Structure 1
Amino acid sequence: MTAELPPRAGRHCHHALNPLHSAVYFTPELATELAPYGVEDPAAVYVATRAAPLGAVGPGAVTATFYNFRHDLVSSALPSVWELASPETVLAARLRAVDGLLRRLLGEKALESPEMREAAELAGRAAEGCVRAGRPLYAANADLPVPTAPHLALWHAATLLREHRGDVHLVALQHVELDPLEALASHSASGRGMTPTFLRASRGYSERDWEAALVRLRERELLTEQGELTEAGQELRAGLERETDRLDRHPYEHLGAEGVARLTELAKGFTTTLLEGGAFPAEIFGRG
């Protein structure tokens, strides 16, 4: 199915769905599930959990596909983590953590609701429109079986859609020649991303690394001395999102305008409950 979508409809749907996927990286259930295997370092937990669909890959492939993580941080986790827990073990732990997270924050009534089943069906239909070629993290997750429980099927589809958009966003970043740290710093400067403190710590960069990226952005006249995006910087970031929308349009065109609007509405309801329940630490967002 193809349909004329309203401007940014796919982007709005992505923003509504993405927290359903990404909340797993912050939930205590994930650490609990992986601790018995000896996977306890936060970096190793994240890297293994997100990379597991790729198989027992080394750090090079993961640094390339994650894009904005320091290679040294990835290398500290891979490939040694696979000696503690195989990718199959990590994937099973990931799904158990998602189940625990959604049961705790959404509640059994929501998980068994017609709205959950409808959202899972719509998201799954959208994911049918995704494209494997040139999208490694999406393609790896697409090879995994679809869970039978509606709330897990919704999470799986949200993961497919999130990684599909992420994969093509890297193409857009490279086109405008933003390196990994410049991409992080310019997004943080927009006020819509995560804090520099959290980004540096979670991705393995030092303050010196960050400051060097800020210097490069200022030299390109994308950032002011006060750390704000210039007009050129704002347009660059807006253009990045427009190009990402274009490259990511297939699943939403496949679902159609009516389906996208309904999926966005349903996902917003579930996401709001997650956010109100504390799925993400409040201090990770903003300019701090």
Structure 2
Amino acid sequence: MTTAATGPRAGRRCHNALNSLHSTHYFSPDLGREAEAIGITHPRAVNFAVRAAALGPVGPGAVAAAFYNYKYELVARHVPAVWRTAAPEQVLAARLRAVDATLRRLLGEEAVASPEMAEAARLALRAAEACARGARPLYAAHADLPVPDAPHLAFWHAATLLREHRGDGHLMALVSAGLDGLEALVTHTATGRGMTPKWVSSTRGWSREEWDAASARLRDRGLLDASGDLTARGVALREEIEQETDRLDAAPYAHLGADGVARLTELGTAFARTASAAGAFPADLIGKA
């Protein structure tokens, strides 16, 4: 599976499908229920805990750095206090239970037990063999976790590795482009492919005034126009960032090869579409509104 060449956009498309499936648990009532069972009830605390638990009982600085676009003060309200409620090992176990319940509910027992799920797990784990730990804290932390035995959980674990590997590389590209965390959110939202301002403001901790100030900085750089849309320069910068992210994330998909990437994309897209059709994501999550 490693002989055929694969292009960067093919890797990006594959990642997008796998990331959709990975992300279902963040919006799942199963996650809230499992988190509450170990004493974590605040939605922001749940989010910080489940994604950062692989790092160990770290402080707010490490979480804010690794997550990048969350306001530090928001993170510090919940971290490290959340580790006094539940140890990272408890959080990781609760997360995996929530993922199990979520995928079974959204995809159905037949899909979870299908040969296609086992095939997707094998392909995604094969791709993840070529991920690199250097300068990638979230990927490296998750790569130290054991691979679950059940195929649907192994697939989700591999999708998580590939998502965090690309995400860590994406932060490198954002820093190189001179976009801080909030500016990255503003420009991503302006593409129409990011979270709506409503979801950003409710989850990332930034005020309206801070959003407006970031927008003003971006207008001064010629990246946003007066209506808040990307200028031609802004569109070009966002595409340069994605291309650099593709470059930094090329190894897993080159390792898997074009045929493997095409098949993994096909399988991941089918599972992600089934999950979305089952109500995995809020209807107002993505867009400019």
What secondary structure does 1:148 align onto? coil
Report the counterpart of residue 104 of structure 1 in structure 2. Answer: 105
Residues 166 and 7 from structure 1, CA distance in 2 versus in 1: closer, same or farther, beyond 3 angstroms?
closer
- Aligned equivalents of 1:258 and 1:239: distance in 2? 26
What secondary structure does 2:75 align onto? helix
Report the counterpart of residue 75 of structure 1 in structure 2. Answer: 76
Q: Read off the aligned partner of 1:159 and give its amino acid letter.
A: T
Report the counterpart of residue 225 of structure 2 in structure 1. Answer: 224
Residues 76 and 172 from structure 1, CA distance in 2 versus in 1: closer, same or farther, beyond 3 angstroms?
same
What secondary structure does 2:6 align onto? coil
Measured after TM superposition, the shift of residue 285 of structure 1 is: 1.2
Q: What 5-or-longer segments of structure 2 have no aligned partner?
A: none
- Asked if the contact 2:34/2:97 (under 8 Å) is kept, the reply is yes
- Aligned equivalents of 1:244 and 1:218: distance in 2? 24
Measured after TM superposition, the shift of residue 228 of structure 1 is: 0.8
Measured after TM superposition, the shift of residue 278 of structure 1 is: 0.8
Report the counterpart of residue 130 of structure 1 in structure 2. Answer: 131
Percent identity of the aligned residues? 61
Measured after TM superposition, the shift of residue 3 of structure 1 is: 4.0
Residue by residue over 1:83-116, the C-alpha shift from the partner in whole angstroms, topping out at 9 and shown as x without a partner, is 1100000000000000000000100000111100
* Aligned ranges 1:12-51 → 2 under 5 Å: 12-51=13-52
Residues 60 and 2 from structure 1, CA distance in 2 versus in 1: closer, same or farther, beyond 3 angstroms?
farther
Report the counterpart of residue 197 of structure 1 in structure 2. Answer: 198
Report the counterpart of residue 117 of structure 1 in structure 2. Answer: 118
Measured after TM superposition, the shift of residue 2 of structure 1 is: 5.6
Residues 181 and 201 from structure 1, CA distance in 2 versus in 1: closer, same or farther, beyond 3 angstroms?
same
Q: Read off the aligned partner of 2:275 and give its amino acid letter.
A: L
CA RMSD of aligned residues (A): 0.8
Report the counterpart of residue 94 of structure 1 in structure 2. Answer: 95
Report the counterpart of residue 149 of structure 1 in structure 2. Answer: 150
Q: Read off the aligned partner of 1:160 and give its amino acid letter.
A: L
- Aligned equivalents of 1:33 and 1:72: distance in 2? 26
Measured after TM superposition, the shift of residue 23 of structure 1 is: 1.2
- Aligned equivalents of 1:7 and 1:57: distance in 2? 34
Residue by residue over 1:41-92, the C-alpha shift from the partner in whole angstroms, topping out at 9 and shown as x without a partner, is 0100000000000000011101100000000111111111111100000000
Residue by residue over 1:257-279, the C-alpha shift from the partner in whole angstroms, topping out at 9 and shown as x without a partner, is 10000000000000000110111
Q: Read off the aligned partner of 2:195 and give its amino acid letter.
A: M
- Asked if the contact 2:4/2:259 (under 8 Å) is kept, the reply is no
- Aligned equivalents of 2:105 and 2:118: distance in 1? 18
- Aligned equivalents of 1:34 and 1:190: distance in 2? 33
- Asked if the contact 2:8/2:250 (under 8 Å) is kept, the reply is no
Q: What 5-or-longer segments of structure 1 have no aligned partner?
A: none
| Number of residue equivalences | 288
- Aligned equivalents of 2:257 and 2:136: distance in 1? 22
- Aligned equivalents of 1:105 and 1:174: distance in 2? 36
- Aligned equivalents of 1:7 and 1:283: distance in 2? 29
Q: TM-score, normalised by structure 1?
A: 0.99
Residues 285 and 202 from structure 1, CA distance in 2 versus in 1: closer, same or farther, beyond 3 angstroms?
same
Measured after TM superposition, the shift of residue 248 of structure 1 is: 0.3
Measured after TM superposition, the shift of residue 20 of structure 1 is: 1.2
Q: TM-score, normalised by structure 2?
A: 0.98
- Aligned equivalents of 1:26 and 1:49: distance in 2? 12
Report the counterpart of residue 166 of structure 2 in structure 1. Answer: 165
